[in-house]
Amino acid sequence: MGGVHATARIAARADGRGGTALPVLESDGPLALRRTRGTGAQARVLLVGAMSGPLGGDRFAVEADVGEGARLRVGSAAATIALPGQTKDDARYDVRLRVADGGELHWLPEPLISAKGSDLSVVTRVELHAGARLVVREEQVLGRVGEEPGRLGSRLVVRIAGRVVLDQELACGPGAPGGWDGPAVLAGNRAVGQLVIVRPEFAHVPAESAILAQGACVMPLAGPAALVTAVAPDGLRLRRALDEALAELHIR
């Protein structure tokens, strides 16, 4: 199988002085990690794409491990664009996140854009201890301006204290099961996104089901967590909907 294989790794640990250290910040191939200026106890890392991709046949992975008492925010410098490669193999992007008791992770990458002719599978797996805090944002844009999308499959799995609270899949584009563009799924929209928010206090006062600004909706999960989903005609309006949802839920 052709393509580039690369795995980037981040480990965040409380430094004993009220801050967060990054003992592991390991870039690999096209996945370049850069520490940026943090705020308070929170360390910040930016994922910078060093080359185009993922292309057909590529296998990318990013891992983040947040220890007890550490706070980490991870973003990306630009959108990720899935492109067709020289081979007909599909591409795969795996994200593996772990957060210990008392740790906090904000995983806030820029959107993933599925370009015409691409074939990408994205799998995000999150393992949390009972006292962990989390915000994960996923945004997917189907095609560039005026372009039909490629095939895109995504799966998001979240476990808290070993218990699955979310296991969700979506497939879009050529070859995906029928109905993905119909009224029950995207209804003709070309951007779809979600937020998973985990807070220990949700175990006592769960988030309430609601339709929020810009058409985003919030749903409590079977655990100290909530799921926000939204669809929009484009990535800009999708981001606005998700940002307003975070503001409504008083999450910073």
Query: What's the confidence (pLDDT) of residue 51?
Result: 60
Quickly tell me which residue has 């805090």 as its tokens: 133
Nearest to 96 by CA among 70, 122, 68, 61: 61
Tell me the C-alpha distance between 32 and 26, whole Å: 8
Nearest to 100 by CA among 129, 62, 63: 129
Query: What's the confidence (pLDDT) of residue 89?
Result: 84
In three-state form (DSSP H/G/I as H, E/B as E, the rest C), the secondary structure along the chain is: CCCCEEEEEEEEEECCCCCEEEEEEECECCEEEEEEEEECCEEEEEEEECCCCCCCCCEEEEEEEECCCCEEEEEECCCEEECCCCCCCCEEEEEEEEECCCCEEEEECCCEEECCCCEEEEEEEEEECCCCEEEEEEEEEECCCCCCCCEEEEEEEEEECCEEEEEEEEEECCCCCCCCCCCCCCCCCCEEEEEEEECHHHHCCCCCCEECHHHCEEEECCCCEEEEEEEECCHHHHHHHHHHHHHHCCCC
Tell me the C-alpha distance between 228 and 251, whole Å: 12
Q: Which residues contact 250 (CB under 8 A, 6 or more apart)?
A: none
Tens digit of pLDDT at every position of the chain (252 positions): 568 899 999 999 999 999 999 999 999 989 999 999 988 999 999 999 756 678 888 999 999 999 999 999 999 999 999 988 777 788 999 999 999 999 999 999 999 999 999 999 999 999 999 999 999 999 999 988 878 889 999 999 999 999 999 999 999 988 887 778 777 778 788 999 999 999 999 999 998 898 887 778 999 998 999 999 999 999 999 999 999 999 888 787
Can you give the residue ranges of every domain in the chain? Answer: 5-248
Query: What's the confidence (pLDDT) of residue 147?
Result: 85
Query: What's the confidence (pLDDT) of residue 189?
Result: 86
Strand 191-198 relative to strand 133-142, pairing: antiparallel
Q: Are 114 and 84 in contact (CB under 8 A)?
A: no
Query: What's the confidence (pLDDT) of residue 52?
Result: 66
